[in-house]
Structure 1
Amino acid sequence: MTALGDLIGIDDRTVLVLGRELDFAHDQPDVGNALVHRAGDTLVLVDTGVTTAFRAALRTAADRVGPWSRVLVLTTHGHPDHVGNNDLADELADELGVPAEHYVPARDLDQMRDPDSYWARSFERIAWAAPLPAPALAARVVSLFTPMRPFAATTRTYEERPLELIRTGSHRFTGWTFADGAVRVLRSQGHCAGHVIVHLRDCGVLHLSDEGNGACGAMYDADQLKIQTVLGAVAGLFEEGEAAILTDGHTFALRRGAEAVSHLDGLLEQATALQEAALGLTGGGGPIVPSAFAARYAQAMTELGVGGANPNPVFTAMMALNALGELGLRPEPAAEADAPWSRPALHRPHSTDPHRPGDSGAESGAAPGETV
């Protein structure tokens, strides 16, 4: 049984600090796992979670992996369960009089500045599944994550640095390197718009953060193709021995070698099985009512044994809408959140040019002047 702030030692300079699950009914925010690592003389924090208890655990881990004379805080994405203690970069640096840096994804800046609007935008799409109106539910959720200090005096965006081509084995990524290449920040952008993953070269840890939160992303800015692409690329790193230990934002364990590959393959298999199930639920050809589809989609998830971080009806409904979008359906113009979705009509372009699709000769397969 794990508890918030438990430390899992990976080696003498790397510690995984464990978060916890969301318990909305008891006003308990979820907390994303964080990594604390020393690369040479640099203390590296990958995410900072939230709550004062987690902050204390980060400080304990920082003492354990010392000594260090620089501080580098890397934010994987802007969700509140990962950014609440980001000002720890300043605190640690000021106490020892050492330089500090903190980097965040540029595409997540808006949600970090105004999390209420970000979450309201996600919740308003599934008003029929939400226990409160979207603005009220967003404010209620965000209020759980305290204290919230997502910015430090040294905060900059990754994108202010020159983008690098990072070669790891046979794989190619774009991103940024730190500590003479020992810390690699790789762009992924699947779980949300700005998401990155982090590879700690010397200890072989690949931190997936929230890209592995189940078979289908839930947020409105999730990209299913990017999620699946990064899962496959990371599996390749483990198969080639370029990474040795897989960690993520919400699984309270380490996965090594073949176990990591099996886990990643399992997520991809779940994604394909869930897409097949969703396709079967939309196969009638008529408009799809989101609330009815979401109920059947949730049943399919149960039957397939597909889960993810923080499973609940609200997040499942958000996943269901993303699944409809991935299948090519779009909401019909209407004011109601539960308005039907359907596939856009396919219209053949009108043309009087006999050489272009749309004229009778082209449709029959005959060239001008020919008969078939």
Structure 2
Amino acid sequence: MTALGDLIGIDDRTVLVLGQGLDVEHERPDVANALVHRTGETLVLVDTGVTAAFRAALREAADRVGPWSRALVLTTHGHLDHVGNNDLADELGVPAEHYVPARDLDQMRDPASYWVHAFERVDGVAPLPPPPVLAGTVVSLFRPMRPFGATTRTYEERPLERIRIGSLRFTGWSFADGAVRVLRSQGHCAGHVVVHLRDCGVLHLSDEGNGPCGAMADADQLKIQTVLGAAARLFEEGEAALLTDGHTFAVRRGAEAVAYLDGLLEQATALQEVALGLTARGGAVRPGAFTTRYTQAMAGLGVGGANPSPMFLAMMAVNQLRELGLRPESGGADAPWSRPAPGDAAPDI
């Protein structure tokens, strides 16, 4: 049984700091796992979670991997459970740099609007409070929220690099003479990156491995599946040895990591087959009814994902309808969705 702030030592200079799951009913925020690593004289923090207790755990982990004389804080994406303690970079007492994805700046500045938009898509689909109320409730759980510090910049202010790891080619940015590689993935949300720590062989997927189907409005299912396949290849080629992520509270090694990644891809194809079956008759589909049956199928397949709840399951179901090419016929709550014929004009919603 793990608890918030537990430390998993990977080696003498790398620690995984464990977060916790979301529990809106009991006013408990989810907190993403963070990586603390030292390369040479540089302390590297990959995400900073949220809450004062998690901040203290980060400081403990930083002390464990020391000594260091400079710091590098890397934000994988802008969701609240990953960014709340970002200003820790200002308090480490050494020269520090902090980078965030440019495409996630808006949600970091105004998280309530981002989550209102996310929940508007499932308004009437699941038994949830109105989107502004639900978004306000969710956002209020994440305190303190300090996503920016004195040194915050965007990755995109640096020249984009072509990064080759084994037979695979990525674009992104490298730090610490190539010991830290930030690889663009942009599946879980618009700005998402994954991080490869060369010297200890850790590949940190952050939230790209949250499940076989992304939930957020700015998720890209193809990119999620592409990065999962690329990650498996890195392990097969020996370019990565340990897999970590934002929410499963585990370190997976070698063949276990490959099996886990392949399992997510198998679930993705199985769920799409289920969705095709549920929409095979043609005509209009009510997303509420579709979500109920899709959720039952997920349970039957043993699909969970991070923070399973009616809220996120409904968001995943709506994304699956979009993935199959269906579109809402109007902007009403639980309005029917249908597959437009080729040549039809897109609905103005």
TM-score normalised by the chain length of structure 1 = 0.91
| Deviation, structure 1 residue 347 | 4.1
| Deviation, structure 1 residue 99 | 1.0
| Deviation, structure 1 residue 317 | 0.6
Is 1:329 matched up with 2:326? yes
Distance 1:17 1:306 in 2: 25
Distance 1:343 1:195 in 2: 30
Q: How many residues align?
A: 343
1:229-278 Cα shifts (integer Å, max 9, x gaps):
00000000000000000000001111000000000000000000000000
Which residue is 1:126 aligned to? 122
Q: Are 1:123 and 1:130, in contact at CA under 8 Å, matched by a contact in 2?
A: no
2:335 to 329, 333, 339: 339
SS of the residue corresponding to residue 144 of structure 2 reads: coil
Which residue is 1:366 aligned to? none
Which residue is 2:53 aligned to? 53
SS of the residue corresponding to residue 208 of structure 2 reads: helix
Is 1:177 matched up with 2:177? no
| Deviation, structure 1 residue 16 | 0.2
Which residue is 1:73 aligned to? 73
Is 1:202 matched up with 2:199? yes
1:105 to 101, 113, 119: 101
Is 1:91 matched up with 2:114? no
Q: Are 1:50 and 1:83, in contact at CA under 8 Å, matched by a contact in 2?
A: yes
Which residue is 1:252 aligned to? 249
| Deviation, structure 1 residue 61 | 0.4
Is 1:268 matched up with 2:250? no
Q: Match for 2:336: what amino acid?
A: P
Distance 1:347 1:29 in 2: 45
TM-score normalised by the chain length of structure 2 = 0.97
| Deviation, structure 1 residue 140 | 0.5
The structure that has the greater radius of gyration is 1
Which residue is 1:14 aligned to? 14
Which residue is 1:302 aligned to? 299
2:210 to 209, 213, 216: 213
Q: Match for 2:86: what amino acid?
A: N
| Deviation, structure 1 residue 131 | 2.2
Distance 2:292 2:11 in 1: 45
Which residue is 2:24 aligned to? 24
| Deviation, structure 1 residue 130 | 4.6
Which residue is 1:162 aligned to? 159
Distance 1:141 1:312 in 2: 13
| Deviation, structure 1 residue 346 | 2.1
SS of the residue corresponding to residue 207 of structure 2 reads: helix
1:202-228 Cα shifts (integer Å, max 9, x gaps):
000000000000110000000000000
Distance 2:128 2:192 in 1: 28
Distance 1:75 1:325 in 2: 28
Distance 1:184 1:40 in 2: 15
Distance 2:74 2:174 in 1: 11
Which residue is 2:314 aligned to? 317
Q: Are 1:4 and 1:19, in contact at CA under 8 Å, matched by a contact in 2?
A: yes
Which residue is 2:347 aligned to? none
Is 1:42 matched up with 2:42? yes
SS of the residue corresponding to residue 86 of structure 2 reads: coil
Which residue is 1:351 aligned to? none
Q: Share of identical aligned residues, percent?
A: 80
Which residue is 1:364 aligned to? none
Distance 1:3 1:248 in 2: 16
1:269-326 Cα shifts (integer Å, max 9, x gaps):
0000000000100000111111111111101101111110010111111101100000
Distance 1:282 1:304 in 2: 18
SS of the residue corresponding to residue 172 of structure 2 reads: strand
Distance 2:282 2:18 in 1: 46
SS of the residue corresponding to residue 192 of structure 1 reads: coil
Q: Are 1:214 and 1:308, in contact at CA under 8 Å, matched by a contact in 2?
A: yes
2:237 to 232, 235, 240: 240
Q: Match for 1:232: what amino acid?
A: G
| Deviation, structure 1 residue 340 | 0.8
1:165-220 Cα shifts (integer Å, max 9, x gaps):
00000000000000000000000000000000000000000000000001100000
SS of the residue corresponding to residue 45 of structure 1 reads: strand
RMSD: 0.9
Could you list the runs of 5+ residues in structure 2 that have no partner in the other structure? Answer: 345-349
Distance 2:27 2:19 in 1: 15
Distance 2:113 2:9 in 1: 38
SS of the residue corresponding to residue 145 of structure 2 reads: coil
Match runs of 1:217-236 below 5 Å = 217-236=214-233
Q: Match for 1:111: what amino acid?
A: Q
Distance 2:239 2:341 in 1: 47
| Deviation, structure 1 residue 127 | 1.1
